[in-house]
Chain A
Amino acid sequence: DIQMTQSPSTLSASVGDRVTITCRASQSISRWLAWYQQKPGKAPNLLIYDASSLESGVPSRFSGSGSGTEFTLTISSLQPDDFATYYCHQYNTYSQTFGQGTKVEIK
């Protein structure tokens, strides 16, 4: 199975900060990567798919980049609603895997 490793596990930031989360795959997954946001007690919400395509309705401060084995999620200016946990997800193969998550906390 393809392993997905996110870093950092926890990130402390302030409103207005630029935030970057990294996700590395154990083998090439081309551009078949998505990012989700999850808040406590809620189901995840799709932000980015195919590494860099913004899901409809998601604010443009979210962006994704990368291909192959290294990917990033960037929040250009952190807003109060963005404090949450973020997961990467590879779907290069029928057997999919998630990263372990990155919690974005208030500094």
Chain B
Amino acid sequence: EVQLVESGGGLVQPGGSLRLSCAASGFTFSTYWMSWVRQAPGKGLEWLANIKQDGSEQYYMDSVKGRFTISRDNARNSLFLQMNSLRAEDTAVYFCARDHVGGGYRGIIGYWGQGALVTVSS
């Protein structure tokens, strides 16, 4: 069974940093593109970033470029999101997500974690 479990969320002050982790199981992690998607309270889904199977390519939404970094550790079946210079508008539930199928890029999100809440507030 595919499982994606996020951790590392919490309360952080504006300007601070936080690192989210996603532990993957139930599939061959190293063969899938992975993504982060967020959802602010009461708002819609917002795609943030994705990363190729070997970590050699990453793509970002414009508003987080230079502040957020997606990375992965295939040996530990883990996905990460390093978030710096956090703002109040970054307050959201952050979902780890897996491509629908392995191999080449497809972009369809087939599996989601349950999300980790990040609150940016003083």
**A94 with B100: CB separation less than 8 A:** no
**A91 with B45: CB separation less than 8 A:** no
Query: Which size class do B's interface residues fall under?
Result: 20 to 34
Pick from B44, B57, B62 the residue with the most CB of A within 10 Å. Answer: B44
A42 contacts across to B, CB distance below 8 A: 114
**A94 with B57: CB separation less than 8 A:** yes
- Of chain A, the residue at the smallest CB distance from B35 is A96
Contact of B107 among A1, A32, A55, A100 (CB under 8 A): A32
B44 contacts across to A, CB distance below 8 A: 85, 87, 98-101
Chain A: minimal CB distance from B62 (Å)? 6
A38 contacts across to B, CB distance below 8 A: 45
Chain A: minimal CB distance from B43 (Å)? 8
**B60 with A95: CB separation less than 8 A:** yes
Q: What total count of A-B pairs have CB within 8 Å? A: 58
Bound Cα distance A92, B62 (Å): 17
Interface string of B60-74 (1 = CB under 8 A from A): 111000000000000
**Given the known A-B contacts A34-B108, A49-B108, A94-B59, are A43 and B115 also in contact in the complex, defined by CB atoms under 8 Å?**
yes
B57 contacts across to A, CB distance below 8 A: 94
- Of chain B, the residue at the smallest CB distance from A48 is B108
- Of chain B, the residue at the smallest CB distance from A85 is B44
23 A-B pairs with CB atoms under 8 Å apart are A1-B62, A32-B107, A34-B108, A34-B109, A36-B45, A42-B114, A43-B112, A43-B113, A43-B114, A44-B109, A44-B112, A46-B108, A87-B44, A87-B45, A89-B45, A89-B47, A91-B106, A91-B108, A94-B50, A94-B105, A96-B35, A99-B44, A101-B45
Mark A residues whose CB is within 8 Å of B: 1, 32, 34, 36, 38, 42-44, 46, 49-50, 55, 85, 87, 89, 91-92, 94-101
Mark B residues whose CB is within 8 Å of A: 35, 37, 44-47, 50, 57, 59-62, 95, 100, 105-110, 112-115
